[in-house]
Amino acid sequence: MSENLEKFISRVGETAEENMLVKMTLSKPVNKHDDLRNIYVKPVLIKEKRLFAFTYHYERRDEVKNYDAAQMLQMLREMLPDRFLNAVLFTVNEDVTLLVSSKGKSTLQTKKVQECREQNLEHDKQKNRLVNPANPWWYQLGLTTREGKVTADMQHKFKQIYKYAEIVESLIKPMKFEGTVHIADMAAGKGYLTFALYELLTQKMNLDVDIKGVEIRPDLVLKINEIIRSSNLKGMEFVESSIEDFKPEKLDVLIALHACNTATDDAIASGIKAGAELIVCAPCCHKQIRQEMERSGKVDAITRYGIFLERQAVMITDTIRALIMEYYGYKTQVMEFIEMEHTPKNVLLVGKRVGKPNNRDSILLKINELKKQYGIGQHYLETLLEIQE
Lowest mean pLDDT among 87-91, 205-209, 258-262, 279-283: 258-262
Residues 205 and 166: their CA atoms lie apart, in Å, by 12
Percent of the chain with pLDDT over 70: 94
Stated pTM of the model? 0.67
Residues 125 and 137: their CA atoms lie apart, in Å, by 22
Q: List, in order, residues 6 or more apart from 173 with CB less than 8 Å away.
A: 205
User: Does residue 127 have a pLDDT over 60?
Assistant: no
Interval 133-157: pLDDT, tens: 989 999 999 999 988 888 888 888 8
Residues 140 and 127: their CA atoms lie apart, in Å, by 22
Answer yes or no: are the C-beta atoms of 39 and 55 closer than 8 Å: yes
Interval 171-218: pLDDT, tens: 999 998 889 999 999 999 999 999 999 999 998 899 999 999 999 999
User: Does residue 323 have a pLDDT over 70?
Assistant: yes
Where exactly are the structural domains of the chain? 3-112, 136-385
Residues 68 and 111: their CA atoms lie apart, in Å, by 26
Q: According to the model, what pLDDT value does residue 238 have?
A: 97
Interval 3-31: pLDDT, tens: 999 999 999 999 999 999 999 999 999 99
As a whole number, the mean pLDDT across the chain is 89
DSSP 3-state assignment of 255?
strand
- The mean pLDDT value for 165-171 works out to 91
Q: Where are the alpha helices (DSSP H) in 246-286?
A: 263-274
User: Does residue 33 have a pLDDT over 90?
Assistant: no
Q: How confident is the model at residue 123 (pLDDT cuts 50, 70, 90)?
A: low
CATH of domain 136-385: 3.40.50.150
Q: How confident is the model at residue 305 (pLDDT cuts 50, 70, 90)?
A: confident
Answer yes or no: are the C-beta atoms of 27 and 5 closer than 8 Å: no
- CA angle (87 as vertex; 86, 93 as ends), nearest 5: 140
Interval 44-63: pLDDT, tens: 988 888 999 999 998 777 88
Residues 11 and 17: their CA atoms lie apart, in Å, by 10
